[in-house]
Amino acid sequence: MTARDAARLTLVVFGFVVIQETVMLDIRIGGVHPDIMVLLPIVAGIIGGPGRGATIGFGAGLVADLFLPTPYGLSALVGCLLGFGVGLATVALDRTAWWLAPVAALGGSALYEVTYGALGSVLGQPQMLHVALARIVVVVSVTNALLAWPAMKAMTWGMAQSSTEGMPTSDAGVGSAR
Amino acid sequence: MPRRSRRPRTTLLILVLAAITIITLDARGGLHVVTSGVRSAAVDAFAPIRSGVNAVVEPIGSFLAGSVHYGAVREQNQKLQAEIDQLKLEQSAAAQQAQSLKQLSALLNLPYLGNLQTVPAEVTDFGTSDFAATIDIDVGRSDGVQLDMPVVGLGGLVGQVVSVSHHTATVRLITDGQSSVGTRYGPDPGSLAILNGTGAGKPLSADLVPSNTPLTNGEVFTTSGLQGALYPPGIPVAGVVATHTGSSASQESVSLRPLADLAHLRYVTVVLWGPSA
Question: Quick check: ipTM above 0.90?
Answer: no
Minimal Cβ distance to A120: which of B127, B128, B131: B131
List the one residue out of A110, A97, A174, A175 whose CA is nearest residue A137.
A110
Distance in angstroms (rounded) separating the CA atoms of residues B231 and B150: 6
Q: Provide the chain B residues 60-119 that lie in CB contact (below 8 A) with chain A.
A: none
Residues of chain B in contact with residue A123, where contact means CB-CB under 8 angstroms, are: 23, 27
With a threshold of 0.80, does the pTM exceed it? Answer: no
**Shortest distance, CA A117 to any CA of chain B (angstroms):** 7
| Of residues A170, A175, A161, the one with CA closest to residue A91 | A175
Of B35, B53, B130, the CB nearest to A131: B130
Q: Estimate to the nearest angstrom the gap between the alpha carbon of A142 and the chain centroid.
A: 14
Length of chain A: 178
Partner residue facing B125 (CB), from A25, A49, A132: A25
User: pLDDT tens-digit profile of B18-64?
Assistant: 999 888 888 776 667 777 788 888 888 888 888 888 788 777 766 65
Residues of B with Cβ-Cβ distance to A178 under 8 angstroms: 1-2, 4
How many contiguous H segments (helices) and E segments (strands) does chain B have? 3, 12
Please list every residue in chain B whose beta carbon sits closer than 8 Å to the beta carbon of residue A87.
Answer: 8
pLDDT digit string, tens, across residues A68-109: 888 889 999 999 999 999 999 998 888 888 899 999 999 999
For residue B99, CA distances in Å to A60, A94, B95, B102 come to 41, 58, 6, 5
Which residues 182-201 of B are in CB contact (within 8 Å) with A?
197-201
Task: Name, in order, each residue with C-beta under 8 angstroms of B254's C-beta and a sequence gap of 6 or more.
Answer: B193, B205, B206, B209, B215, B240, B242, B243, B244
**Which residue does chain B place closest to A172, by CA atoms?**
B2
Write the residue in A18, A66, A123 that is nearest to B49 by C-beta. A18
**Per-residue pLDDT tens digits for B92-146:** 877 777 777 777 766 667 778 778 889 999 998 887 788 888 999 999 999 999 9
Inspect the interface and report whether the beta carbons of B26 and A71 lie closer than 8 Å.
yes
pLDDT tier for residue A170 given thresholds of 50, 70 and 90: very low
Longest dimension (CA), chain B: 81
pLDDT tens sequence across B155-175: 899 999 998 999 899 999 999
Q: What is the mean pLDDT of residues A40-49?
A: 95
CATH number of B115-277: 2.40.10.340
Q: Residue A147: pLDDT above 70?
A: yes
| Strands in chain B per DSSP E | 118-125, 134-137, 150-153, 156-164, 169-173, 180-185, 191-196, 204-207, 220-223, 236-245, 252-258, 267-271
Checking DSSP bridges between strand B191-196 and strand B180-185, what pairing results, if any? antiparallel
CA angle A82/A84/A88 to nearest 5° reads 115
With a CB-CB cutoff of 8 Å, which residues 236-255 of chain B face chain A? none
Helical spans, DSSP H, in B184-274: none
Residues of B in contact with A116 (CB under 8 A): 131
Hey, what amino acid is at B209?
V
